[in-house]
Amino acid sequence: MRTIVNTPATGDVAFRELDAPVPAAGDVLIDVKAFSVNRGEILNLPGNAEGWRPGWDVAGVVAETANGFTAGQRVVALSLADGSWAERIAVPAGFVAVLPDEVGFAEAATLPVAALTALRLVRESGSLLGRRVLVTGAAGGVGRILVQLASAAGAEVTAVAGSAERAKGLTGLGAAVVVTDAADAEGPFAAVYESAGGVSLAAALELVGPGGTVFSYGNSSGEPTPVSFFQFFGGHEQAVLRHFVFVTGAPVDADLAELAGLVGSGTLSVEISYRKDWEHINEALAAVRDRRVAGKAVLTVG
Ligand SMILES: NC(=O)c1ccc[n+]([C@@H]2O[C@H](COP(=O)([O-])OP(=O)(O)OC[C@H]3O[C@@H](n4cnc5c(N)ncnc54)[C@H](OP(=O)(O)O)[C@@H]3O)[C@@H](O)[C@H]2O)c1
């Protein structure tokens, strides 16, 4: 089987021929048709060994009937054990959902990490009806879905994008206000969904209202955050700075099915601004790394 492996010495990844996976009891064997690239996977490449196999998102076809799935069924899946940048993968059944006919493999491949993160951030926020929220990194994979789901939940969304060019489409997705620097956003916000880190997280701490929550779920900038917690006390009574991770190890099949249904019904739109055959993987990684992809980059397999 062809698969993509980490080659840290080159700064790139490479194709390698490896044995196909043997499914464990409880697994579903999937022929991969598409996967998307997440910034988290790129951030993980340098710290992992030569030969490590990245990849969380999977869209494909069930290869063998097992564990409630039938050979030939179209599915979307999350591989917590990595390895989805390959022709075939085995995933525990609780992390696989059947795709509606209307949802293509490329669209489905954008959902596991990005849309589950956005869905669960909104769920963790309590009622958003009539509340003001701030989304940093709004032009990215998680951000564009988060803007839609928060807005659909009734929030007034302020979106932060790197430039007017990067901000294109965010108003149409439900953002009431778009700014190009978190420091320019007008608080207070009941929730801040913060993924850029560095000075953006520092700005978020200034903008959260009393009793509000800053969900810190990423550090795309890789920069440390200068924080004065003493300053955080003033005007932000009972506000919470919360580290957030989208998975706990519990099954995600129901949430994946819900998200695929939202895409199928046209309620949730996924923007794919980079879509090529997986031979272009290193070009795709560079495009995401350099902030040239609006929404998601998807690679198709075979
Ligand atoms: N904790 C979790 O469970 C979890 C789950 C998913 C993702 N994450 C993290 O959340 C972040 C967003 O993930 P994603 O897949 O949506 O990434 P993405 O598609 O690359 O989007 C990230 C966005 O952040 C913005 N950004 C602002 N400052 C940046 C900087 N200095 N460097 C790079 N980007 C910057 C970019 O938008 P502009 O160019 O418009 O500024 C970009 O669109 C990542 O850090 C990822 O690791 C965490």
The 3 state secondary structure assigned to 177-193 is EEECCHHHCCCCEEEEE
Domain locations in the chain as residue ranges: 2-112+248-300, 125-243
Domains 2-112+248-300 and 125-243 share a fold: no
- With a 6 Å cutoff on the Cβ, whether 166 touches ligand 1 is yes
| Residues in contact with 55: Cβ distance below 8 Å, sequence separation at least 6, in sequence order | 4, 35, 41, 79, 82, 83, 84, 85, 86, 89
197 Cβ below 6 A of ligand 1:
no
For domain 125-243, give the CATH number: 3.40.50.720
Ligand 1, residue 42: give the atom nearest the CA.
Answer: 47
With the most atoms of ligand 1 within 8 angstroms of its CB, the residue from 220, 225, 241 to mutate is: 220
Which ligand 1 atom minimizes the distance to the CA of 40?
47
* pLDDT (tens digit per residue) in 162-173: 999 999 999 999
Output the CA 195–ligand 1 centroid distance in Å: 6
The pLDDT tens digits for 170-226 are: 999 999 999 999 999 999 999 999 999 999 999 999 999 999 999 999 999 999 999
Determine whether domain 2-112+248-300 maps to CATH 3.40.50.1980.
Answer: no
- The CB of 288 under 6 Å from ligand 1? The reply is yes
Alpha-carbon span 55 to 40, nearest angstrom = 10
Strands 189-194 and 208-216: parallel
pTM for the full model?
A: 0.98
Task: Specify the residue with its C-alpha closest to ligand 1, atom 42.
Answer: 140
